[in-house]
Structure formats: C-alpha cells, structure tokens
Amino acid sequence: MSSLILGIESSCDETGVALVRLPDGGAVPQLLSHALHSQIDMHRAYGGVVPELASRDHIRRVLPLTEHVLKESGTTLQDVDVVAFTRGPGLAGALLVGAGVACALGAALDRPVLGVHHLEGHLLSPFLSEDPPEFPFIALLVSGGHTQLMRVDGVGDYAILGETIDDAAGEAFDKSAKLMGLPYPGGPELSRLAEGGDPEAFKLPRPLLHSGDLDFSFAGLKTAVLTQAKKLGDELEARKADLAASTQAAIVDVLVRKTLTALKDTGMRRVVVAGGVGANKLLRAQLNAACAKRQIRVHYPELHLCTDNGAMIAMAAAMRLQAGREKAEKIYAFDVKPRWPLDSLK
C-alpha cells in the first residue's frame, strides 16, 4: 500500500509545502502537488533576509499553502501518512515554524513525523525530474551558503570530496552583485545582467583552481570584483554588464573544472547538480558541453525546483523511508539544527 508524505520547508525565505506519494515495490516516489511562496519582495527593502520577518511570514503562509496542496491533489489531511519538515540547517526561528506546524499536525492526526536535512533535500531533488539519476554519482551542491562536491553511493551514503573554505558560489554571486549596486536578490540579477556583457572583459581570479584538491574559495574573487569596480569609478555603470559577465564566468569556470576533476578522480560517469545556483544558464551550458564530450550524464532538478521548496523535503523523506535509513515516529517534541553537516547523516 502506498503512503502519502506531506513535506514542509521553512529554512529561510521561502515557504514550501508538497505532497509526495511513496509507492510500494521500490519505485521512485511521485510528486502529486506542491506550492511555494517566496519572500523576496518583502526582504528586498532591506537588501537581504531579515530573520524575524521571515519567521513571521512562514507562520502566515504555511497552512494556506497546505490547504492549496491538498485541494490540488484531491486529498485531505486524513489521507496523509507522514508529515515531514526541514529540521536544518537554516535560520533557527524559521525552522521552528515548520517544525512546530509539522509536529502539531502529526499530533492532531495521530501520524508520525520526520525531520529532514535541507541539503539532502536539494541533493535528492533531481529524482523529482523527468530524467531521474541512478546511484552512484558525483553531486555538485551549490545552494546558498554551501558549495560542495560529494560522492553519493545511495540515500544517506555521502562522502564530501571538497567544499568551500570561505564564501560559497551563491554568496559570491550575491556579494558581487551588491558591490555593483544590483538589487536583492543579487545572484539572479547579476546573471541576467551578464547575458549582455563580455565574459572576457576583465581578468578575474579563479581561486583554488590549481590547488590540487576539490575545495572552493570565492572570497578572493569578491575582493577582485570590488577592486575592479573602484578602478572603473564613473565608468562602472557603462561597464557593469561586462563586469557581471566576467564575474559569472569566473565562478562557473571553477565549478565546472572542479566537477570534472572529481569525475576523473573517482571514475564516475554521472553527475548531479542541485541547489539554487544549479539554475544558472551558463553553468548548465558549460557543464553539459564538457560532460557530453566525455560521455558523462548530467542531471538537474526542474528549474522551478532549484530553489528551496517543499517537494524536495517530501521527496527526501520518502527516499529515506524507502531505503530504510529512517523511521518516522509519533514523537512530537521537536528541535531544529541551524548548523547540521550533511556528511553526519547515516
């Protein structure tokens, strides 16, 4: 008999709710419905996420989104078998909203609950696509403050090959955009501006590109962007698209070349890209081209599922239950983990 899993995501500035069906027989779980509310417009006035405002908005949004998902899928709360929620990492107050609502629903329905790792949600989100991957694979996880290369041999079987030692790729996009005077959220704005610029206009550094390991560092790139912006002075406005394109090219170059090195070192023939930066058009184009030459398969989540969302949380819960890595329980006392290393999962 199949199970229905309700997933709630509230780790930062998006409230996501989704319903996933976990079929019998080991088939890939299926997404039935999902709904998402982004707080971008609210936070834009402050130039970044305000944690207290984020938490309050999650409180307003989560139940209406849940009602929408149930209505769209033709189900009711009584049909839900497991309630899953993001336990961490993320903003403590925001995480507490999702955890509190999930555990309250579980208690009211007499259903088990399950806390999910936010990054594992991103990592497994490509299984929601029309072309789901197969284990094992190399994963490039580029989400918010995280940039990691991982060997993934199965659900819960993760080995970190390299990670950021300072600014992550997403932070490099956002901070560089802010230095150029672009509005929040900076990363997507920089990428859009870069489409009309020359990626070779400025010679920006590729940090740790020849470090001999798979770690990342983008803080030096941010400093180089600041230096170049100051040099341009009054010319910055006219050259902003070129600077944006050069910045994006540097970030993408490092991500692609380190990923190819990880594939070569491990002998893997499959790579998964997950997280918000995974929606970047240049990253997809360059990685697709490089992997096609090497006959390596590349998998991504659907574009609308690259950002934080409830579907990836419900999916991760379903796959952990399916793999026997986790057991949902009727324990409604909860805690959250604002800091939670992905490789600590079993």
Gap between the Cα atoms of 133 and 137, Å rounded: 8
pLDDT, one tens digit per residue, over 333-342 is 999 999 999 9
Residue 145: what pLDDT? 86
Structure tokens at 111: 């259903």
Continuous segment of H or E residues that includes residue 271: strand 270-274
Any idea of the CA torsion for 98, 102, 103, 109, to the nearest 10 degrees?
160
Report, as an integer, the average pLDDT of 163-174: 95
Residue 143: what pLDDT? 85
Give the pLDDT band (50/70/90) at residue 1: low
Report, as an integer, the average pLDDT of 149-169: 96
Gap between the Cα atoms of 251 and 204, Å rounded: 10
Structure tokens at 324: 């026997």
Q: What is the reported pTM?
A: 0.96
Structure tokens at 172: 């490099």
Alpha helix positions (H), the chain: 40-44, 51-73, 92-109, 118-124, 169-179, 186-194, 219-232, 236-266, 281-293, 310-322
Residue 346: what pLDDT? 82
pLDDT, one tens digit per residue, over 268-318 is 999 999 999 999 999 999 999 999 999 999 999 999 999 999 999 999 999
Average pLDDT of the chain? 96
Give the pLDDT band (50/70/90) at residue 142: very high
Please count the CA atoms within 13 angstroms of the CA of 202 that sit on its side-chain side. Answer: 27
Look-up: residue for tokens 């319903």? Answer: 19
- Which residues in 224-236 are b (16+ Cβ under 10 Å) and which e? bbeebbeebeeeb
Q: DSSP of 185-249, one letter per residue?
A: SHHHHHHHHHTTS-TTSS----TTTTSSSS-B--HHHHHHHHHHHHHHGGGHHHHHHHHHHHHHH
What are the phi and psi torsion angles at 155 (to 5°)? -65, 125
Continuous segment of H or E residues that includes residue 87: strand 82-88
pLDDT, one tens digit per residue, over 307-330 is 999 999 999 999 999 999 999 999
Give the pLDDT band (50/70/90) at residue 60: very high
Closest CA to 180 of 131, 125, 128, 238: 238
Closest CA to 140 of 296, 9, 318: 296
